[in-house]
Amino acid sequence: MELISSRDGVPIACWHGGAGEPLLLVHGTAGDHFAWAPVLAALERHFDVWTFDRRGRGHSGDTHRYALERECEDIVAVIDAIGGTVHLLGHSFGGLCALEAASLTSNIGGLVLYEPPMSLAGSGWSAELGTSMQTLLDAGNREEALLLFFRDIVKTPSHEIAAMQTGLHWQGRIAAAHTIYRELQSIDRYVFEPSRFHALRIPVLLLLGGDSPSRRHRIAETLHQALAGSQIKILPGQQHSAMRTAPGLFVHEVVKFLNVHGLRTLSGGNHQG
């Protein structure tokens, strides 16, 4: 583990292993770097893979004042520490952070976004649900808040929730439960402005579960229309967590895309402007 200081001084805990072109993985809500455990070894056979704990969880630091912008600066700080051009893969809220980070640096090669949220419409989110979550967190009932998130907002199938509960990293998810509400609020406030990304000239893979809700398909299509170098890849039979439910398929699609768009084929990485 190594600590990298972000722009505001928060230490970001990072790990890396493997060999090849650098690939930075950005996990989603209610997780930490262990979220990538099912696919890490396979990815490391192809890349120098970097993972990190996003601020507020695991071994990374935090501040009392939270903003999505700080998360994006964290990603850029890690990319700068790696050096050169880096491939970037973000899942769920981590995908939104990765997308926004792409507007802050010219050192991204290929960008992979797996179902980044741009709206909570249709997710079951409501002010009442938010109040319920905050009440649970204030009472110290982190596990119930975590279950509320997966069950009622992400719509995770019950058998997947049960599998996570018996996994090695469930306690880490509970420990990070206090970060869920602030990230949901960030999604709720976020306004996607396509014009901000018209100058982005890097290859983008939009991963989408074939069985994911229609709202996620609409988001993928919105991004595809806005990002000139993008393509959509459907993961058949999957929803929001193919890293766990179909790790072989997930790795295959990521490796295939990044091999085609490897850094050796890019002249200067991110072609903006």
172 lies in a domain? no
Per-residue pLDDT, averaged over 124-130, amounts to 84
Residue 27's SS3 state is coil
32 lies in a domain? yes
Residue 166 has pLDDT above 50, yes or no: yes
134 lies in a domain? no
What's the rounded Cα separation, in Å, for the pair 90 and 99? 8
133 lies in a domain? no
Measured in degrees and rounded to the nearest 5, phi and psi for residue 78 equal -70, -40
Contacts of 14 (CB under 8 A, 6+ apart): 1, 2, 3, 4, 50, 51, 52, 78, 81
Residue 141: per-residue pLDDT: 96
What is the extent of the structural domain holding 242? 2-121+192-265
Task: Note the pLDDT tens digit of each residue in 38-87.
Answer: 999 999 999 999 999 999 999 999 999 999 999 999 999 999 999 999 99
Residue 265: per-residue pLDDT: 52
Task: Evaluate the CA torsion angle 66, 151, 234, 256 in order and state its sign.
Answer: positive
What's the rounded Cα separation, in Å, for the pair 76 and 141? 34
Strands (E), the chain: 2-5, 11-18, 21-26, 47-52, 86-91, 108-114, 204-209, 230-235
Per-residue pLDDT, averaged over 220-232, amounts to 96
Return the ∠ at Cα 58 (arms to 57 and 59), rounded to 5°. 115
Distances (CA, A) of 91 to 27, 111, 133, 258: 6, 11, 22, 16
Sorting pLDDT into bands at 50, 70 and 90, what band is 264?
Answer: low
Residue 270 has pLDDT above 50, yes or no: no
Strands (E), 128-272: 204-209, 230-235
Residue 89's SS3 state is strand
**Domains in the chain: how many in total?**
1
Task: Note the pLDDT tens digit of each residue in 76-115.
Answer: 999 999 999 999 999 999 999 999 999 999 999 999 999 9
CATH number at residue 103: 3.40.50.1820
29 lies in a domain? yes
Measured in degrees and rounded to the nearest 5, phi and psi for residue 250 equal -60, -50
Sorting pLDDT into bands at 50, 70 and 90, what band is 273?
Answer: very low
176 lies in a domain? no
What's the rounded Cα separation, in Å, for the pair 12 and 222? 31
Residue 153 has pLDDT above 90, yes or no: no
